[in-house]
């Protein structure tokens, strides 16, 4: 299982996302994002090389807050062929420079998400080492081929009762909990 280092990152993930998110075609907020972390979970890279995080953030820049799922991968070196997916680099207090990518373009995240949808791997806590994330529920896809889809704007209109769905929870701006489908097959 991945080791979560409780250290600094400069710039922080939220700082990087504040710059990157408004340039995405699915972004629904104002010209400058006002982000807060609302939830998320991690998946473990079986090779232990790539950090995989599904971060849920809420943007308060528009009249009505909007919540997004942003799958991230953290690498110790650039990933060839996906320059457009680079969110930015950050200095990690323990691991050094990290290249942070929009994870839907990273083959390691796609493979791990496929494994999650098939019931082969389980979600991990976002901020604790060696800890399962019990709030993430998976309706396993019993399909020969699984093509994962990430739902960027939450809540998603996909029903949680459909096989091949991943349900996660997050905190709304008013402090209450919400949950919905964050990925599907």
Tens digits of residue pLDDT in 36-56: 999 999 999 999 899 999 999
In a domain, 184, yes or no: no
* Closest C-alpha to 168, from 143, 146, 139: 139
The share of the chain scoring above pLDDT 70, in percent, equals 94
What is the spatial distance between Cα 127 and Cα 163, in angstroms, rounded to a whole number?
28
DSSP H/E element including 123: none
What is the spatial distance between Cα 26 and Cα 53, in angstroms, rounded to a whole number?
19
Q: Is 172 helix (H, G, I), strand (E, B) or coil?
A: coil
- In this model, does residue 159 exceed pLDDT 90? no
**pLDDT, position 4:** 64
In a domain, 163, yes or no: no
In a domain, 138, yes or no: no
71 backbone dihedrals φ, ψ, rounded to 5°: -75, 130
What is the rounded average pLDDT for all residues in the chain? 91
In a domain, 3, yes or no: no
Q: Return the bridge partners of 35, or none.
A: 59
**pLDDT, position 142:** 81
In a domain, 117, yes or no: yes
Which pLDDT tens digit goes with each residue over 6-47?
A: 667 879 999 999 999 999 999 999 999 999 999 999 999 999
Which domain, by its residues, includes 65? 9-133
- In this model, does residue 86 exceed pLDDT 80? yes
User: Per the structure, how many domains does the chain have?
Assistant: 1
In a domain, 181, yes or no: no
**Residue whose entry in the numeric block shows the structure tokens 């964050």:** 182
In a domain, 159, yes or no: no
In a domain, 105, yes or no: yes
pTM of the model: 0.92
pLDDT tier at 94 (50, 70, 90 boundaries)?
low
Query: 66 in the Ramachandran plot: left (φ > 0), alpha (ψ -120 to 50) or beta?
Result: beta
**pLDDT, position 130:** 75
Tokens read off for 126: 């976002």
- In this model, does residue 93 exceed pLDDT 80? no
């Amino acid at each position: 299982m991945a080791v979560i280092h409780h250290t600094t990152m400069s710039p922080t993930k939220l700082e990087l996302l504040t710059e990157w998110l408004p340039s995405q075609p699915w972004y629904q907020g104002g010209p400058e994002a006002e982000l807060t972390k609302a939830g998320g979970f991690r998946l473990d890279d079986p090779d232990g090389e790539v950090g995989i995080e599904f971060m849920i953030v809420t943007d308060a820049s528009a009249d009505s807050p909007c919540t997004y799922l942003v799958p991230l991968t953290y690498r110790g070196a650039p990933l060839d062929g996906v320059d457009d997916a680079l969110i930015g680099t950050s200095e990690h207090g323990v691991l050094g420079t990290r290249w942070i990518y929009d994870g839907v373009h990273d083959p390691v995240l796609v493979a791990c998400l496929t494994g999650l949808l098939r019931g082969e791997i389980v979600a991990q806590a976002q901020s604790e080492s060696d800890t399962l994330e019990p709030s993430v529920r998976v309706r396993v896809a019993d399909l020969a081929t699984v093509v994962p889809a990430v739902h960027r704007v939450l809540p998603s209109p996909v029903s949680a009762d459909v096989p091949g769905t991943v349900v996660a929870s997050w905190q709304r701006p008013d402090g209450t909990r919400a949950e919905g489908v964050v990925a599907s097959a």
